[in-house]
Amino acid sequence: MPIHLTTTRAAQSPLALCPGDPDRVRLVAAELLEGARTVTEARGLLGVTGRWRGEPVTVQATGMGGGSTAIVVQELIGLGARSLVRAGTCGGLAPGLAAGSLVVADRARAADGAALALAGPEPPPADPPLTDALAQAAAATGRPLARGTIVSTDLFYDPEPGRPARWAAAGMLAVEMEAAVLFALAPRLGARAGCVCAVSNVLVGHDPGWAGAGRVREAALDACRAGLDALVATR
């Protein structure tokens, strides 16, 4: 039995959408799923199971950062999850990648302790068929889309102002906090992993800054919709 997720194998789906934020789980349950029911909420890590396009899916918050994500992913897979998609937000690093765009990750470079411990310096890859399905579903939302390598960090409030520019120069599309752990851990445990994120803020270029809360909400909801479509398409 899992130690942190107070749920059972029978309450879970093999398809798992994994936002970081429990409020995003609530949003998906209210606006996208049919018959959503809470299956766990211990430690604030809300999880619900419902149906998307007739298929059972679980939507489980991972919390913020690689350490929390590693716990949730390990326990989800122990409960029977076989395909997991992170759907969240990210900071844009690539030129022309505006707030409200979607990013599908082929790889995630580890700049956090948990992913480095799992994968070392080589960026762990996402599952290719699942990622192809994510790119197709993300494109269908009509939002601008970029696909490539992202970077995962421990530090949301980074004291080193030059770091985003160096990531951008190295070809990173965006920065977030959980994907590298997911990509490193899931295949070790026999599961597939992917990631789609909405750009909530721009960190480099001439017009850095945040999108409004409503704009971020709708873009993140489209990321979740794309994640659900990809999970069901590759089940």
The pTM score is 0.96
Q: What percent of the chain has pLDDT over 70?
A: 99
Q: What is the 3-state secondary structure (H, E, C) of the chain?
A: CCCCCCCCHHHCCCEEEECCCHHHHHHHHHHCCEEEEEEECHHHCCEEEEEECCEEEEEECCCCCHHHHHHHHHHHHHCCCCEEEEEEEEEECCCCCCCCCEEEEEEEEEECHHHHHHHCCCCCECCHHHHHHHHHHHHHCCCCEEEEEEEEECCCCCCCCCHHHHHHHCCCCEEECCHHHHHHHCHHHCCEEEEEEEEEEECCCCCCEECCHHHHHHHHHHHHHHHHHHHHHCC
pLDDT for residue 120: 84
pLDDT value at 209 more than 90: no
Single-letter amino acid, residue 15:
L
pLDDT tens digits, residue range 20-64?
Answer: 999 999 999 999 999 999 999 999 999 999 999 999 999 999 999
Q: What is the spatial distance between Cα 13 and Cα 55, in angstroms, rounded to a whole number?
A: 9
Minimal CA–CA distance to 134: which of 85, 91, 176, 177?
Answer: 85
Minimal CA–CA distance to 196: which of 125, 146, 140?
Answer: 146
**Could you tell me the sign of the dihedral formed by the alpha carbons of 211, 95, 69, 132, in that order?**
positive
Instruction: Identify the CATH assignment for 9-233 out of 3.40.50.12280, 1.10.760.10, 3.40.50.1580, 3.40.605.10.
Output: 3.40.50.1580
pLDDT for residue 208: 72
- Read off the pLDDT band of 206 (50, 70, 90): low
Chain center to CA of 97: 18
Q: What percent of the chain has pLDDT over 90?
A: 89
